[in-house]
Chains A and B, each alone.
Chain A
Amino acid sequence: MLPKSSQLKQLIRMIKTDILIIGAGPCGLFAVFEAGLLKMRCHLIDYLPQAGGQCSEIYPKKPIYDIPGFPKILAGELVENLMEQIKPFKPGFTLGERVEKIKKSQDGLFHVTTSLGTKHISKVVVIAAGLGCFEPRKPNILNLSMFENKGIDYIIKDPMVYKNKKVVISGGGDSALDWSIFLSNNIASEVSLVHRRESFRGHPDSVEKVNQLSKEGKINLITKAEVVDIQGNDNLQLLKIKSDNQIFDLSADFWIPLFGLSPKLGPIANWGLNLDKNAISVNTLDYSTNIEGIYAIGDINTYPGKLKLILSGFHEAALMSQSAFKHVFPDGKKSFKYTTVLGQIEGF
């Protein structure tokens, strides 16, 4: 099972660690393992509510054929295996939050702040941000930003927020179907599902279930329709729905447009790092960036001959960890050991 943000909700608002990893995709996850072997503790931050990056978000059910030692493995399984492999090193997670700012203080420590204000302090920062931050595809509607987090949610982190509320979901894929089914089961007081087409492209079982719930009056199914306007005072109150060239009102406490996520470089561009197009330039000796103590591994980095492969990111994670050691334990002496020599992986 992948961790869900709701289960891992951080109660402590200041998180301290040796290595802070921005991005919990496959490369960020494997970095925890390589760092752990050298007794360095890691904490990962990701905007997605689950770990796994592209593998979880874009293609969890697709088989990958070029992971060494696995003739074929589903992307989702690879992530589960990585989570299992890093378990002994007890990484922390801040999920569902986007890293906005990185500041280096005079003592060399990094202060990293997220979109929800969670503060992290670390000796080393590793940027494993892939293609960038997965951000929701937003409908092109006036006043949208006025109601974000005031009735409009793009990602569901804690379904209990919708308890006894009138919820409208837009979209035709699996997440729109699955959440409609879930929330209609004694959580929301009213669930409407608005979809542009008549047919749904989700899993046939889910489509059948939604149709069934619609017949039972538990889901208000509105097809060949889209939300064209939103209204409210402080919070969202009303959606205008266009269907067959007619516009009607639908009262709503929440509107959840689920139209998938797409990666955007986002705040990384403002951190003073040397960029080449949409990637961070690194030194291939150890994948360090132009800022001492900040490394970049995986799809986010670039160097001559770079291949955007999981395999390359794993290698980069290993070399990065060897180099990061000097920042974490300036007086420490590391010796290189095979995991076979270490025997059972000793965690924290």
Chain B
Amino acid sequence: MVKLKVFDVEKKAILIDNTKDNPNNLDTISINIIDFDGEVYILKTLVYPDLNLMEVLRNAEFHMGHCGGMALCASCHCYIEKDNIKLIDISSEEEDMLDQLFTFNQTKSRLICQIPLEKSLDGINIRIVKD
């Protein structure tokens, strides 16, 4: 187990490696996640085309994605620490949904179903917010 610092939490991280089967030689990235119960995970995933960040986490059995990724349910609301990672801009649909959340944080809140999976997300820090 690796000790990982995500946001202000430093804890032993559970590794989820979903990269073993890679016949198409896709890029691999690593995502650091704190679940809302405080558990820390390192999720290694292939950069599949046409997937978003919510789908990758849902496939790894994180409980989210009720609306299928339409920015309508906020089950995928996360705080994101960007560092040097440039994220796609917030659309008005995403802003509308975020606006309903009391846990909304001006600088960190995103609905991760609106963030396409890309190589540039490697090393991103995500904290899943309990609705």
B63 CB contact (under 8 Å) in A54, A172, A201, A278: A278
**Residue of B with least CB distance to A130:** B66
Bound state CA distance, A41 and B63, in angstroms?
A: 36
Bound state CA distance, A196 and B101, in angstroms?
A: 11
The answer to the question of A58 belonging to the interface, with a C-beta cut-off of 8 Å to chain B, is yes
The answer to the question of A140 belonging to the interface, with a C-beta cut-off of 8 Å to chain B, is yes
Chain B contacts for A140, CB-based, 8 A: 102-103
The answer to the question of A88 belonging to the interface, with a C-beta cut-off of 8 Å to chain B, is no
**Residue of A with least CB distance to B74:** A262
Bound state CA distance, A59 and B71, in angstroms?
A: 11
Taking a contact as CB atoms under 8 Å apart, the answer to whether A58 and B96 are in contact is: no
Taking a contact as CB atoms under 8 Å apart, the answer to whether A58 and B100 are in contact is: no
Taking a contact as CB atoms under 8 Å apart, the answer to whether B66 and A131 are in contact is: yes
The interface residues of chain B, by DSSP majority, are classed as: loop
Taking a contact as CB atoms under 8 Å apart, the answer to whether B72 and A171 are in contact is: no
Chain A contacts for B103, CB-based, 8 A: 140
Bound state CA distance, A260 and B67, in angstroms?
A: 14
Interface band, chain A:
20 to 34
The interface residues of chain A, by DSSP majority, are classed as: loop
Q: Which of A126-183 contact B (CB under 8 A)?
A: 131, 137-140, 171-173
Interface string of A52-94 (1 = CB under 8 A from B): 0010001100100000000000000000000000000000000
**Residue of A with least CB distance to B77:** A262
**Residue of A with least CB distance to B92:** A201
- Supposing A59-B67, A131-B66, A277-B63 touch, asked if A262 and B75 sit within 8 A by C-beta, the answer is yes
Taking a contact as CB atoms under 8 Å apart, the answer to whether B100 and A259 are in contact is: yes
**Residue of A with least CB distance to B96:** A201
Chain B contacts for A58, CB-based, 8 A: 66-67, 72-73
Interface string of B53-86 (1 = CB under 8 A from A): 0000000010100110010111100000000000
Taking a contact as CB atoms under 8 Å apart, the answer to whether A137 and B66 are in contact is: no
Taking a contact as CB atoms under 8 Å apart, the answer to whether A259 and B75 are in contact is: no
Q: Which of A239-268 contact B (CB under 8 A)?
A: 259-260, 262-263
Chain B contacts for A131, CB-based, 8 A: 66
Chain B contacts for A259, CB-based, 8 A: 100-102
Bound state CA distance, A54 and B73, in angstroms?
A: 10
Q: How many residues of B contact A (CB 8 A)?
A: 18
The answer to the question of B131 belonging to the interface, with a C-beta cut-off of 8 Å to chain A, is yes
The answer to the question of B99 belonging to the interface, with a C-beta cut-off of 8 Å to chain A, is yes
Q: Which of A244-300 contact B (CB under 8 A)?
A: 259-260, 262-263, 277-278
Taking a contact as CB atoms under 8 Å apart, the answer to whether A59 and B100 are in contact is: no
Bound state CA distance, A260 and B72, in angstroms?
A: 10
Bound state CA distance, A253 and B102, in angstroms?
A: 23
Taking a contact as CB atoms under 8 Å apart, the answer to whether A137 and B102 are in contact is: yes
Taking a contact as CB atoms under 8 Å apart, the answer to whether A59 and B63 are in contact is: no
Chain B contacts for A277, CB-based, 8 A: 61, 63
Interface string of B102-113 (1 = CB under 8 A from A): 110000000000
Bound state CA distance, A293 and B75, in angstroms?
A: 32
A201 CB contact (under 8 Å) in B61, B67, B73, B99: B99
The answer to the question of A334 belonging to the interface, with a C-beta cut-off of 8 Å to chain B, is no
A137 CB contact (under 8 Å) in B67, B95, B96, B101: B101
Chain A contacts for B99, CB-based, 8 A: 172-173, 196-197, 201
**Residue of A with least CB distance to B103:** A140
**Distance of B124 from chain A, by nearest CB (Å):** 25
Bound state CA distance, A58 and B75, in angstroms?
A: 12
Looking at B61, B92, B99, B101, which has the most chain A CB atoms within 10 Å of its CB? B99
Taking a contact as CB atoms under 8 Å apart, the answer to whether A138 and B67 are in contact is: no
**Distance of A255 from chain B, by nearest CB (Å):** 14
Chain B contacts for A173, CB-based, 8 A: 96, 99-100
**Residue of B with least CB distance to A132:** B66
Closest 6 CB pairs of A and B: A201-B96, A260-B100, A259-B100, A262-B131, A140-B102, A58-B72
B contacts, CB < 8 Å to A? 61, 63, 66-67, 70, 72-75, 92, 95-96, 99-103, 131
8 A–B contacts, CB within 8 A, in A order: A59-B67, A62-B70, A137-B101, A259-B101, A259-B102, A262-B73, A263-B66, A277-B61
